[in-house]
Amino acid sequence: MNVTEYERKDTSLFQCSDGKMIETVYVGDLVPDCSDDESYIGFGITHSGPEMNQSGLGMSQSDKCSELQMSCFPSSKCYDIRFMCQYDLDHNNQIITCRNGFHLENCENSICTNSYKCYMSYCIPYRRVCDGVYDCIHRDDEDFCEQHLCKFMLKCRSIQMMYTCVHPIEVCDGVRHCLHGEDELLCDLKPCPAGCQCLGLAMHCLFTNIVSLTFISPHLQYLAIVDSNMSMQYLTFTSTPIIQELTLSKNKMDSKSICNKGLQRESLFFGLRLLRKLDLSYNRISTISGVCVLNNAFLKYLNVSHNIITSIDKKAFTVIVELEILDISFNKIKSFDADAFSRLSDLQYVNVRHNPIAAVIVDSTFVFKALASDTGSLCCAVKVKACLTSVANYYLA
């Protein structure tokens, strides 16, 4: 891309005579960025210094700035007096407000509101305290960090920012201050629907009449809709793509509800790439079909117990190869084909209790690590390391 095209797409850039592009906020700040200092031209600055009026002050301060502004003397740039003695850096690690630091002078007696007061100096945001970088002149912002508490502030969760606190005024301000962006994570949460309980990124709905999920935050990670009257025919999760745990039990769902009627016959859960736990128990699902494959590659736990499943297609688990726990108990499975599990190398536990299994097909060398069955006859028919014929509790930690 040449310079002309770049200028046309981003008008916030200034072109030096040598072709170098700089941001316009750096123009006329008396800090040379262009090789010929051309960034001074046209901004009331000459190489011999700013013009002086009769009072001896630079014209930029007395004549060009408003009553609520101050000048980045000797530059002509004006700034809001609220930012006097406030130190911070931009995305290029350049000082914000006056790049030459003029607004940080004579700050010994300044009062810091919602920020940290450096010893006998300027103010810095609380997020710059104990961040591993010396921001105060006397380096006091990095003292006693092991005792640093984020009282009434948001604590960033990453190891790299374990002592970093974000003041409430900078939470949900449109700028990510924490490494993982948790200070901007819950900013667009919508009111909790009637009949639901909401906490952070989790929502649990019981006996509700939810029509759609478009009103839910796209950052939702846990969702449970239990015993609802909502129509599953038009249900989609396109508005909640990062759900990790999903419970849809007791919703009268059938196999057609899971497999959409689109041309590609995609699963209802298509697009939920981060889904780890799926509970579809106590519904009316009759089959787990390979035609409508579960494509959630990171799925670890699948519960389809207490349905009316009669068969499991050999291709049903071709994508969810990281599955660890499978509960298909309390169904109507008559034929058990071990080959359907041949690709599930991480599978730790399968519960097939309370199924009228009459035929067992063993065409593969797959070995079950733990198989829960009503009797030991099924365990004898397949390859298994641990046969569980008594009640045992398994769950996803």
Separation of alpha carbons 351 and 281, rounded Å:
13
The DSSP string of 7-29 is: HHH-TTEEE-TTS-EEEGGGTTS
CA atoms within 13 A on the CB side of 38: 12
Secondary-structure percent of the chain, ordered helix, strand, coil, rounded to 5: 15, 20, 65
Closest CA relative to residue 258, chosen from 274, 278, 277, 242: 278
Q: What is the pTM of this model?
A: 0.62
Query: Which residues on neighbouring strands pair with residue 223, listed in sequence order?
Result: 203, 246
The phi and psi torsions of 12 (rounded to 5 degrees) equal: -90, 10
pLDDT one-digit tens code per residue, 29-70: 667 778 765 444 444 333 333 333 333 333 434 457 898 999
State residue 218 phi and psi, 5-degree precision: -70, -10
Please state, in angstroms and rounded to a whole number, the distance separating the CA atoms of residues 184 and 173: 7
3-state secondary structure of 155: strand
Is the bond into 50 cis (omega within 30 degrees of 0)?
no
pLDDT of residue 142: 95
Structure tokens at 302: 């699948």
Contact present, 178 and 165 (Cβ < 8 Å): no
Delimiting residues of CATH 3.80.10.10 domain(s) in the chain: 244-397
In this predicted structure, what is the pLDDT of residue 55? 34
User: Do 78 and 66 contact (CB within 8 A), yes or no?
Assistant: yes
Cβ atoms < 10 Å from Cβ of 376: 13
Spatial CA neighbour of 28 closest among 13, 15, 38, 18: 38
Phi and psi torsions of 284, nearest 5°: -125, 35
Q: Report which of 289, 343, 352, 349 is spatially closest to residue 320, judged by C-alpha positions.
A: 343
Under 8 Å CB-to-CB from 292, ≥6 apart: which residues?
255, 258, 259, 260, 265, 266, 267
Query: What values do phi and psi take at 267, rounded to 5?
Result: -65, 150
Position 318 scores a pLDDT of: 83
Q: Please name the CATH architecture into which domain 244-397 falls.
A: Alpha-Beta Horseshoe (3.80)
What parts of the chain have a pLDDT lower than 50? 1-11, 38-62, 261-265, 392-397
Question: Residue 211: what pLDDT?
Answer: 63
Q: Furthest-apart CA pair in the chain: how many Å?
A: 105
Distances (CA, A) of 376 to 69, 182, 205, 387: 84, 50, 39, 7
CA 115, CA 167: separation in Å to the nearest integer? 8
Q: Tokens in use for 325?
A: 């726990």
Q: How many CB atoms lie within 10 A of CB 196?
A: 18
| Phi, psi (degrees; rounded to nearest 5) at 160 | -65, -25
Q: How high is the pLDDT of residue 200?
A: 80
Query: For the CA atoms of 116, 117, 119, 122, what is the dihedral angle to 10 degrees?
Result: 120
Q: How many CA atoms lie within 13 A of 329 on its CB side?
A: 17
Report how far residue 39's alpha carbon sits from residue 385's, in angstroms, rounded to the nearest whole number: 75
In 188-339 the beta strands, taken as DSSP E runs, fall at 196-199, 202-206, 222-226, 245-247, 277-279, 287-288, 301-303, 311-312, 325-327, 335-337
Q: How far apart are CA 110 and CA 82, in angstroms?
A: 11
- What are the backbone dihedrals phi and psi of residue 377, each rounded to the nearest 5 degrees, phi first? -65, -40
pLDDT value at residue 144: 92
Are 337 and 314 within 8 A, CB to CB?
yes
